[in-house]
Chain A
Amino acid sequence: MLTTDQWQKNIIDSWRPGSLILTSGGRLARQLQHRYRLQQLKEGHTSWCPLEVRSLNSWLHQSWQELWESRAPAGSWMRLRLWYEIISNNPPPADLPLDFALCQLLDQTYAVLVRHRLDPTEIRFPSPLIAWRQHICREFISALNDLKRYHPSELPLKIAGAVNAGRLSLPDSLILAAFEAPAPIENDLFRTLSQKARVNVFPLPQDKATNVHAVNLPDQEQEILYLGQALLDSCQQFRPGAIAVVVPNLEVYAPLLRKTLNTLLGQSLTPQEETYNITLGNPLLEHPLVQAALLPLRLLGEDEKRQVFISLILSPYYRTWAKNRNQLARLDRHWRELSPEADLDSLYDRAHSREPDLAPYLSPEGIEVRQLLAPFQQSRSLSGARWTELVQKLWDSVQFPLLADESDRIASNHLQAVLANLVADLGSWSMDWRTFQACLRQALSAEIFQVGASEQAGVQIMGLIESRGLAFQRLFLLGMTSTALPQPVRPLPFLDIEERRQILGATLKSQYEFGHTAFQHLLAAAPEIILTKPEKVDGEPVSPTPFWPSPWESKTVNIWIKPDAAWARAAWLRSAWRGLTQPHSQEIEEKSSAVSIQLPKSLSVSSLAVAFHCPFRFLIEELLGLKPLSEPMGGLRPENRGQSLHQVLACITRRLRPQYQEGGLDWQQFFPAAQKCVDKVHTRVAALPSWQVERRRLLGDKLGLLRMWFQEEINHHQDGWRWLVEEVPFKGLHVEGWPTALSGRIDRIDFHPEAGLLCWDYKSGSSPNSADVFKYLSEPQLPAYLLALLQGLVEIPAYPPLQKYHFQAGYITLKSEKDIKLDRLQADAERWQHFLETWKERLVELGQLLQQGYFDADPIPTAPERKREQLCNYCGLLTICNRGELTETTK
């Protein structure tokens, strides 16, 4: 029975100089050419007449050139532009954004109809949509005529016409190879050719291959694992180039395949060392160089400006910035502090004011990102050529692209080619910036990028169509499920039901027949064939292709339990295996290992609070100054909000104290004072909407947080308390046995003739409760303030030394109108006294540990596990302290 290999041989044998072989695809043409050359070399020839073989498309194109017609085929962009203009004048029967994808779809529909010899302007099935399509197709045709152009899909018609009219000289004889299921338009062409020249047709062989093995694996992942093994085994028997993998759903499998083959075979180092060649490109738009190219343009429109900007200045493709990437990256810290919607101006202002030494990096060679974007910001209409020129200029000015390898070079040339086509087709078309950007994106996603390895050496991986007519020694057919072969019917939304019935691939029948013949040909393509399929795809069971009903052998692959010699090539597996078979415990040293580090002479109470929470965190954040990047967030940052609230309260108490001491608090004076203070504190941010909302939160339309607070203060006042002083700084607080001096600032001190002094700490969020202060001893602020009082570190003119009074302390919570509390925690001064002693002991204990260099990753040991876990879950240092694994609450 005829095999594809024999079939190819017959074609070459039947070729004579002067005759031409036409193939359905370029790949077959190249394989025939290669085979012929090998034959010449084998027979020892030093010179020979080259084999005349072409794919139908290239022959059509070349023939058109020989005709010297005055009508040129319309380039893709000219067509899209025409569709675009026509649709904008004849909007579709639905409120849809006019975009190039729609134009592309219409152009494809037009081509499909032409290829099937159906008239796009003929009315068969009147529905609003079809009527619309027919109307715009009419307009499209007349627009093409006006421009003396035609749609490239009509080329076979034109060539057939020329052949008929004897205007095209044909070779003595033609060989047609592998033209199964040709479209009607090709059929007509072949008919004409056979009338005018000797045509010899070589239909692809079909075979009931004898050596076929069908394997069923649980899922795609295992299918690929299996393929990896089988390929490596095959490479022990055949040269890689004689092995092929054909995949009907190549785009689904390609990423998995690439990953596997890179792991097992490595990447091809063309041209000398071929490992594998996968004939599936990706849209040029997805290439990192092109992504980088678009970054400056994206900065003009998109929401996620921070990400885009950082990607731009850290991109390796812009020589201007590349050398200073590490310095420029510091800009990110600033942007994270701003709101995510902040613009470049606020970023640069902030950077200039906070980090002047960054200035030279911000405008290298005098170029700053903002200037680059200026030309694009005005909303004006320019010709396609002009926009292209501006974009090019922008790139040149920042020395884009900085190429590193072959892939970059190819991508860069493609990019240039795309721009050139745009200019050629749209050069004179005037459009706004957005439209141009849309064109550019569309063009880049339509262009396919591929770093081609050799088709003649290395394992060959391809889709169904490219495989047509190729011959191999061993063939793997991957993903042979009932949903991949036959393939599902194409949707073709712009065709009516009648048209769809006549289109190949638009009916169950045609898809089934196409799949069936394709499969039969594949069976002839190699003497040994292995079919594989997954049992389930995304958990959904799938049955095998109906074209191979014979039994499938079920297999599972588990490289952990039954490691295999092919996968033993995978570096990660080898490494992991060593770990598994020679287990070792390399835990970070146990938590109590000492480090030598000097504590600073003085420490703020807020730093001390961190030490009380977790000594390790204290070491990292407070002593070594290592903090996580702050997360970008919208609205106000809690810390800014809290700070401003503190200032507002201080301002109010300062203003109202005189009246307060005498009479008492009255609302008349409160409102103006509160307003003045808020405005004073908010001066710099008054224009920012989030702060305007904050102002309303504080002053309120009806209530407002400050009013509620003031109400509490009135009650407090009625209990006999008086505001004494606010924002009282202290320093040099010493506790025997604690190594450093402490400093801090007391938010407010109140006075009561009997009860004495009361230190307040303002909290704009939740306040610690008495358990935190008295039981877990995790909150050092209040005790530290009281000690500062006792040690006479706080002095208030006109008051006797404060330490002679009783004292107590508490929190003023100002979370929201409903969460306002003046919480004295513990009214009994003696208890406070007693507590201070216990607290000092804890402080000294901690001090000794820290001095000896023990910074345990052990948050508030006295607190319940849940609380401790919470602390860890909100701390970014876990990968440094390596405390036990996080719990689910992490989420």
Chain B
Amino acid sequence: MHSLPDEKIRNRALDISRSFHLEAPAGSGKTWLLTGRFLGLLGEVDHPHEILALTFTNKAAGEMRERIRELLDRAAAGDTPRYPQEEPLLQAAARASQRQPVHRLAAPDGLRIMTFHGFCLHLVQRAPLEASVTPGSRVMPDEEQQQLRTQVAAATIHGLLQRPRNDLLRQAVENRLLRLNNNWLALRDQLADLIERRDLLQDLLTLMGSHPDRQQLKVILTERLERLLQLRLAGCSLDFESTFLGKNWPDFIAHLHNNGAEAGNRLPGTLPPAEVKQLEKWQEIASILTTAEGKPRKQVGPATGFYSGFSKSKWAEAILKLPAETLHHLQDLKTLPSVSAGTADLDALYDLVLVVGEALNLYRSACRQRHLLDYVELEQAALRLFDQETPTDLQLFLDRKIQHLLVDEFQDTSRSQWLLLQHLCSGWLPDSGRTLFVVGDPKQSIYAFRKAEVSLFLEAKKGLPIPGQDRFSLRCLQIGANFRSNPRLVDWNNELFGQTIMNRADHEADEVPYVNATALVEPIPDQLSLNLFSSEDQGVDPREIEAEWLGKAVQQELKQLTEGEKIGILLFARTHLSHYLHGLQRAGVAVQVQEGTPLLAHREVLHLRQIAHALVRPQDDLAWAALLRAPWCQLTLEQFVQVARRPELSWLEKIRAAKADFPVAAELWKATTRARQRLGRDELATLVENVWLELGGPKIVAGNGSSASVANCRNFLDLLARVEQGTPEETLVKAELLLQNAYSPPDPAAAPSPVELMTVHRAKGLEFDVVFIPFLDWYPLSGGRGFHPPYLLERLPGSDGELLIAMAPDRRRDKSDSLYQLLRKIGEKKKLAEAKRIFYVAATRARRSLYLSGIARTKNGEILYRKDSPLWWLGNHCGLKHSKNEELIAENNNFLDLYLNPVLTSVDQDEHDKATDLPEPLPFDPERLPYTTVAPSQLIEKVEQTKEQEDDPNARARGAVTHKLLEHLGKENPLPQTAAVVAALISEGVLETEAQELAEEILQEIQDCLQEEFFGWLLSKGHPQAYCEWSLEDRPAENQIRTGIVDRVVFDGDNWWVVDYKTSRPVTGESDEDFLEREVVLYRPQLLAYKEMVANSLNVDINSVRPVLYFTALQRKLELDSSS
């Protein structure tokens, strides 16, 4: 086995008796370690459920499960290692297979490898009540969550506005509206957003709870703000005291006094302590010693508070020599708010918390009533289990105590997940045999929008804090061997990120220190280039040129690609997609895009959508009109105007009327009418598709576009089918909501292409042989959600998740709140820090080659790139310059090939498998049944029921129970008790209140029948042959089977009496004779059928069979004369 530079550390990480905190950079084979450790544990534990491995995505969980399953199978099959490092894994797998029975390893939930959310759901489903979740609740898909939040937010505003004017909550919501310049939608969205982020507001909300207290809120916020200011001051004063000026401050002040400089009076005699109440003094120091831009003051005359000649003094020099870090601190101080200014907007916050509190109550009850959960509620429900339960009960949910915990991608942990881990490890003691293994790479923490807090990864290095006990200590390990990338790439990343982009870790911004990686793969011929496009020529959009270049560059790489290799084009933001997609399409590169451009950006989809609108809404004139202009109708503008000017009121009517003049209108009318006739009964998606097909939609769409356009349309139809609500209007509304976040599917014709286009977030965990990273001039702070949020929430640096909140300035007024500015700066710093990590993730996906490209302005030989963009960072690192002869050069760059406005010639593409011809459709004929079955009784009984039902709602039950009783008697049993008949009636659906009386009636009726001569004889014993409820089958005709049950058949020695009991009775006002006549007509076919069946089955002369109807209500028999 090759020895690895960090082999010892890797082996330690596999020691299953210890707990570790492992930092594993991209490509370092972290999964290998996790798998090895999991398998190692499987070979030791009593039950696999003692191990819990948590990941952050289903994909990661699935991959890990699969890898482990595969190794277990291979070990079982005695497979040999495919590479040296695999050997220990196979050995561990073999041990595991011996230790665990097969059903534990093979069962889907045998190995607990799941996402945090999956695990929470697992717990909550097993203990819904303890978690106070309605049993059977399901987790809503994202779009449903969003819809519900918006609905609840709207309902909250409406509800609160209905309250009396002096009501506290009514006033609060009015104030919120006013603050937003009475913009209802803005408030609705603000509330919906806060509902989503309620876990962050938790501490504030719980404090305010149901009895909000303005004072209490002020106290909390003031205290938190003071802590933040304190922190900043401490940093600054510590640094300042270490400077020459700081060390000799009193002399400096004395010098100013002696020379009558006014600054002497303004500045404190001694350096003030780093206390919040001293903030103003520090700010004074900052503004006297430095300029507004934060540079050391050069103009040090009387005008700036000094004396003329001061510039000659050593003190002036000392000011000029203030180190950059100190200047940075002083500048920072100037912008700090005073405590009073920071909490000035308290009233607004107070109103907000009141309104949010109300919105949350509504939201919770809405979720509970609908048996729904969102992710926040899911996590909180799981946490509730631990709050209340004793460990024994936890056992009840988990079946077995968890002994070993593994957490993958630990850098993406959120606050609630952190809490969950603390609960899971609560009571764990060092060397108790229980282990925690967390692994991740803080440099790859790019999920802040999912509430990931990279600071927790760093925090855990000190061990996992567990309330009420010592931290659960973790041994920190770092590995650095890189199995993925070319040495040149690895070194380049080390240099770029290690020396420049991640060289200093500002904790307040959640920046993380860089750890160097060591390449293990052999060097291979590669490309590592920066391609810059200048925007000097105003005429053309440089982005267009970059996109065109990208298309051609990918084309060229495709030529070099060997079987199984892949190219990845990674984007910083989804909105960049359309630029490059067009470039690639122009170059004829087939590219797989998992989630492409917005579905609504495709015209064919917009037209298809209009079909849905028109079908559902006759009142939607625009939709109807649009149908005529769809590519599958092609009405010219002139014709369109003619239709428009018809006298009919609605467009639906206009089109109906225009049928005669325009064949397309006629076709359209035919197709839509057919669909509208089924509207509300069939699925909307089916009806829309039918109309589209009838009008030749797919043909036109494919002809104008490509298979991709047809795929877009089908994707729209699928979405419509997915959201079917049972009523067209509701289906349409739901579909519209989903459409806002729907993207075009992969082009089916591009499916075999090795080129993939995706966002960096999606590419995390993947690797490609060649990677392109365009749009290097991406500015992370531009656009995006929360750029100018109505309030800001920021974690207090160094706190345990406590937040500071600041309200955005009142929309109606200009007043800018300095706390808001302060928090905004912190937020932006964090965003930039994450952007650096996103760049790192992108750059480390490449195995062989990496192409970077972007746009920069070049102005008289200077390159001016977007500040705080990846390009800017790269530029700073290499010291990019613009040479005389229009070339890009770098002061400090040993790796990167540089090109300015490179031009590539396109290479001809080999056509990817184009479709040949559509084969002849296979035939298919529906199948006919081999025979049909008829039951003589069916039809007639229906008629009987309907007739009698009107008179006696219990007729059916009476009939059924009487028949059962007669069968019972026929089998020579005594009549049952009334109570039993009551029970039988009730189970036939008779109301309890009516059953008793009806039962007595029925029993009496049967008694009366027994008194009657024929009936008495019929049920008497000792007939030569007799049957009850005799079931028969015969074949009256080819492929027909007749099946029936005859109530009673008795042979008297000569004749076969075939009797059918009837419990029907004359309807009100009907004479017995009329009734009997009606019944005979009704039952003749049935009885004659029975007659035949009996004769067939007994194989006797049909004339010896005598069909009889017996009416229990009248105690009368009626023999049917078969001849008549």
Contact = CB atoms under 8 A, between A and B. Distances in A.
Contact of A326 (B136, B371, B650, B932): B650
Contact of A101 (B371, B577, B977): B371
12 contacts: A105-B135, A266-B926, A304-B733, A428-B993, A560-B707, A587-B631, A627-B621, A627-B622, A634-B157, A635-B185, A697-B181, A817-B813
Nearest to A500: B399
Contacts of B155: 303, 341
Contact of A489 (B59, B109, B1099): B109
A275 interface: yes
A626 B651 contact: yes
A575 B184 contact: no
A274 B930 CA distance: 11
Determine which residue in A169, A290, A489, A513 has the highest number of CB atoms from chain B within 10 A of its CB, and name it: A489
B17 to A, nearest CB: 26
Contacts of B927: 239-241, 273-275, 457-458
A563 B96 CA distance: 46
Contacts of B1039: 41
Interface in A584-609: 584-589, 593-597
Interface in A469-493: 482-484, 486-489, 491, 493
B541 to A, nearest CB: 9
A75 to B, nearest CB: 8
A138 interface: no
Interface stretch (B230-238, B313-321, B979-987, B1068-1076): B979-987
B103 A512 contact: yes
B946 interface: no
A12 to B, nearest CB: 15
A549 interface: yes
Interface string B1070-1106: 0000000000000000000000010011010000000
A303 B366 CA distance: 11
A10 B988 CA distance: 38
A149 to B, nearest CB: 9
B929 A37 contact: no
Nearest to B177: A693
B600 A696 contact: no
Contacts of B928: 272-274, 457
A887 B726 contact: no
B143 interface: no
Interface stretch (B440-448, B503-511, B555-563, B746-754): B746-754
A799 interface: no
A49 interface: yes
A96 B107 contact: no
Interface string A507-529: 01101110000000000000000
Contacts of B681: 288-289, 316, 404-405, 407-408
A488 to B, nearest CB: 5
B296 to A, nearest CB: 37
B707 A72 contact: no
Interface in A61-102: 65-66, 68-73, 75, 92-97, 99, 101-102
A332 interface: yes
Contacts of A636: 182, 184
Given A68-B977, A70-B977, A405-B681, A595 B626 contact: no
Interface string B686-727: 000100010011111111101100100010000001000111
A2 interface: no
Interface string A788-819: 00000000000000000000000000011110
A561 B749 contact: yes
Range for the number of chain B residues in contact with chain A: 35 or more
B108 A101 contact: no
A693 B182 contact: yes
Given A68-B968, A541-B62, A577-B918, A326 B721 contact: no
A142 interface: no
Contact of A316 (B607, B680, B703, B964): B680
B596 to A, nearest CB: 11
B645 interface: yes
Pairs of residues from A and B, 3 with the lowest C-beta to C-beta distance, nearest first: A635-B184, A579-B702, A291-B726
Given A236-B923, A886-B606, A890-B600, 7 more contacts: A48-B1034, A50-B1043, A66-B968, A307-B733, A493-B127, A878-B606, A879-B630
A125 B395 CA distance: 11
A508 B103 contact: yes
Contact of B63 (A125, A541, A815): A541
A692 B173 CA distance: 12
A483 B62 CA distance: 11
Contacts of B157: 634-635
Contacts of B132: 94-96
B703 A314 contact: no
Interface string B897-930: 0000000000000000111111111111011111
A502 to B, nearest CB: 14
A158 to B, nearest CB: 12
A815 B914 CA distance: 58
Given A307-B730, A573-B918, A579-B699, A493 B184 contact: no
Nearest to A318: B680
Determine which residue in B108, B161, B626, B968 has the highest number of CB atoms from chain A within 10 A of its CB, and name it: B108
Determine which residue in A232, A483, A541 has the highest number of CB atoms from chain B within 10 A of its CB, and name it: A541
A770 B577 CA distance: 35
B629 A880 contact: yes
A369 to B, nearest CB: 15
A232 B922 contact: yes
B721 A97 contact: no
Contact of B721 (A255, A487, A563, A885): A255
A458 B928 CA distance: 8
A420 interface: yes
Interface string B1030-1062: 011111000101010000000000000000000
Interface stretch (B633-641, B831-839, B855-863): B633-641
Nearest to A235: B924
Contacts of A585: 703-704
B703 A558 contact: no
A773 interface: no
Contact of A575 (B151, B696, B751): B696
A629 B1107 CA distance: 71
Contacts of B930: 38, 41, 456-457
B181 A47 contact: no
Nearest to B128: A493
Nearest to A99: B134
Nearest to A535: B66
A588 B629 contact: yes
A303 B927 CA distance: 49
B130 to A, nearest CB: 6
Contacts of A880: 622, 625-626, 629, 640
B1043 A888 contact: no
B1033 A47 contact: yes
Interface stretch (A174-182, A564-572, A662-670, A714-722): A564-572
A595 B645 CA distance: 12
B922 A568 contact: yes
Interface in A90-148: 92-97, 99, 101-102, 105, 125, 127-129, 148
A703 interface: yes
Contact of B126 (A40, A404, A491, A558): A491
Contacts of B575: 888
Nearest to B69: A543
Contact of A635 (B183, B606, B644): B183
B980 A69 contact: yes
Contact of B698 (A71, A127, A575): A575
Nearest to B730: A307
B154 interface: yes
A891 B740 contact: yes
Contact of B729 (A310, A487, A542): A310
Nearest to B732: A307
Nearest to B115: A540
